[in-house]
Amino acid sequence: MGICEGRVAIVTGAGRGVGRAYALKLAEEGAKVVVNDLGGTAAGDGADLSPAQEVVEEIRKAGGEAIVNGADISDWAQAQAMVQQAIDTFGGLDILVNNAGILRDRMMVNMSEDDWDLVIKVHLKGTFAPCHHAANYWRLESKAGRQRDARIINTSSGSGLFGNIGQANYGAAKAGIASFTLITARELSRIGVTVNALAPRAQTRMTEGLREVSGEMLERRDPEWIAALVAFLASPAASDITGRIFAEAWGFGYTVGDGWKHGPRAAASRDASEVEGPLRHALAAAGYNAGIERDTFVNP
């Protein structure tokens, strides 16, 4: 008996990389899995169901239950149909793991409108649309007296939480997902739904070429380390964990994000000429945002 025995899960972007590891781990722990993947390139071009089909076949070969779904999760109607497919096939839905994503890295001044729009659409709307339809199913179940112990697990990124040059589109979307997670965790708690997010650090096709890793570092970037956290958060044992952002998830550990905090306060003034002194004093006493070093900028 696995920790997710009998539960029904949707994993988006599950044909490759960390999504594949999530689907396999959830199945290993007893969940019935809808393996969603449009099958496009890392930049979001094309479509191919074969990666998702291969994951389904691997799950079935191991004795689990899984089906393929090729929906574009950023399409409203397709996201709704994906949720309905899980319900119609397996009799319900308990777990939604929003993992699908693409990359179109550019320096902001070189980024096209299409680079911006598509990345925001896939990541941000592609998280919102499945969540909306799944939450409405859970809300109706709750009203009917059949409240489900449900889970939403979203995917943020260190780029969104700490910033990464060349990823203004991707980072903005991932930061938005973190905020979306905090808000929806509060909204859905009354119907038994927990909502958490994590920022995975793994070696996948999305990170190919970004850095050279080997040895222990490569081993610790195996997606299975992250999949174990996802399976636990998806299990009944994690019913009291919600509204959390795991700011780092990999083989070296799971870091609980501490979020934004108020720092030193400068006295306010109605006179613009009086703002500088107190403000500079407060800035000097404050730490820099994560990812920003004091020597990043040349101060006058």
Query: What are the structural domains, with CATH classification, of the chain?
Result: 8-256 (3.40.50.720), 263-300 (no CATH)
174 is catalytic: yes
Catalytic residue among 121, 174, 235, 254: 174
For residue 296, count other CB atoms closer than 10 A to its CB.
Answer: 8
Distances from the Cα of 81 to the Cαs of 38, 122, 183, 240, in angstroms? 14, 17, 25, 30
Cβ contacts of residue 270 below 8 Å, gap of 6+? none
Annotated catalytic residue within 157, 159, 235, 254: 157
The whole-number pLDDT of residue 169 equals 97
125 is catalytic: no
Which residue among the candidates 22, 137, 170, 254 is catalytic per the annotation?
170
Is residue 261 flagged as an active site residue? no
CA dihedral (113, 115, 118, 121) in degrees, to 10, reads -80
| Tally of helices (H runs) and strands (E runs) in the chain | 10, 8
147 exposure class (CB count in 10 Å sphere: 0-12, 13-18, 19+): middle
Q: Sheet with 95-97: list strands edge to edge.
A: 66-69, 32-36, 8-11, 95-97, 150-155, 193-200, 245-250, 253-256
Distance separating alpha carbons of residues 174 and 176, to the nearest angstrom: 5
Residues in CB range of 173: below 8 A, 6 or more apart? 119, 120, 122, 123, 124, 160
Q: In a structure prediction context, what are the per-residue pLDDT tens digits for the chain, which is 300 residues long?
A: 899 999 999 999 999 999 999 999 999 999 999 999 998 677 667 778 999 999 999 999 999 999 999 999 999 999 999 999 999 999 999 999 999 999 899 999 999 999 999 999 999 999 999 999 999 999 999 999 999 999 999 999 999 998 899 999 999 999 999 999 999 999 999 999 999 999 999 765 555 555 666 677 678 889 999 999 999 999 999 999 999 999 999 999 999 998 888 899 999 999 999 999 999 999 999 887 765 554 444 433
The H-or-E segment that residue 3 falls in is none
274 C-beta neighbours (distance < 10 Å), count: 12
pTM reported for the whole predicted model? 0.90
For residue 262, with 0-12 CB atoms within 10 Å meaning exposed, 13-18 middle and 19 or more buried, which class applies? exposed
SS3 state of residue 213: coil
